[in-house]
Copies of this chain bind each other. A is one copy, B any other.
């Protein structure tokens, strides 16, 4: 069991930022990644469709005999997490729970949450945070154009500045003390967000919280891969274009070692 891989799925390639964080804290673990690039984005779709797609993603990884499942996509976590848990024979980690725990542990007063329309419309972050810390005032905000802009490589410069100003002005006026980056793409523009919001703002990246909670769980359950074992990484996508490799490497922060394989779900 211990040397089985960790399965990570995402609506597309943004979840590679989560793979990155997992690799930092769990360097000996093998990882199988699935990005549903033929149907990305999930953030604009209905709960019914996101549930269906998330279940298909999860089943693909379960048949690969993973020791646990990570839902890297915030929209999938918010709209499909409960369904995936119902059918999964292995433990499921999503973006919402560990992030809410972190926010609660920090005793913050005014937390902003940004995400896709799907994530924000579900109020999953707000509800999970309020359950643990009723005193924190949580303000949620959908930022639908940030994902396509970042995927087009608009990670600095006037366009992304305009979008950040457009979306985040209400949160700046609200004088939030902390901000949950509730979409896998947002850590890429962390610096630009801080530049607009002020350097005192505490940014909370769900990718780091997923990785930390996963590491704690594997350790507690004695499920860590042996330190002697060579970590393997396998990347699957449901659609593959030349452009995707570049986008994948932007999220991963380095060259992809090994092939990306195309699969049908």
| A residues at B contact (CB < 8 Å) | 37-39, 44-46, 48-49, 117, 144-145, 148-149, 152, 154, 158-159, 162-163, 166, 238-241, 243
Contact = CB atoms under 8 A, between A and B. Distances in A.
Contacts of A46: 239-241
Most buried by B among A37, A145, A162: A145
Given A49-B38, A241-B45, A243-B117, A159 B149 contact: no
Contacts of A45: 37-38, 239, 241
Which 7 pairs, one residue from A and one from B, show the smallest C-beta to C-beta distance?
A: A148-B148, A49-B239, A46-B241, A38-B49, A39-B39, A46-B239, A45-B239
Contact of A162 (B39, B158, B238, B241): B158
Q: Determine chain A's interface SS by DSSP, over half rule.
A: loop
Nearest to A40: B44
A238 B148 CA distance: 22
Given A145-B159, A148-B148, 11 more contacts: A38-B39, A38-B45, A38-B49, A44-B241, A46-B240, A46-B241, A117-B243, A144-B152, A145-B154, A159-B162, A162-B162
B159 A148 contact: no
Contacts of A49: 38, 238-239
A159 B144 CA distance: 14
A173 B152 CA distance: 23
A238 B46 CA distance: 10
